[in-house]
Amino acid sequence: MTKRKRNLDVSLARHEAKCGICAHPHREEIERAFVDWTSPTKIARAYKLSRDSIYRHAWAIGLLQKRQKNVRSALEKIIERAGEVKVNAAAVVSAVQAYAKINAQGQWIDRSETVNLSKLFDRMTRDELEAYARDGTLPRWFPVQSQQEGKQDAP
**Interaction of residue 22 with Zn ion, rule CB under 5 A:** yes
Binding of Zn ion at residue 19 (CB under 5 A)? yes
Between the alpha carbon of residue 41 and those of residues 46, 61, 65, 103, 155, the distances in Å are 9, 19, 19, 28, 58
For residues 119 and 85, give the distance between their C-alpha atoms in angstroms, rounded to a whole number.
28
Q: Which stretch binds Zn ion (CB under 5 A): 5-13, 16-24, 80-88, 100-108?
A: 16-24
Count of residues of this chain found to bind Zn ion when the rule CB under 5 A is applied: 4
Element (H, E) at 15: helix 8-18
- 44 binds Zn ion, rule: CB under 5 A: no
Binding mask 71-110 for Zn ion (x = CB under 5 A): ----------------------------------------
Residue 7 beta carbon to Zn ion: minimum distance, rounded to whole angstroms: 17
Q: What are phi and psi of 136, to 5 degrees?
A: 80, 10
* Torsion angles phi and psi, residue 36, rounded to 5: -85, 15
Q: Binding residues for Zn ion, per CB under 5 A? A: 19, 21-22, 57
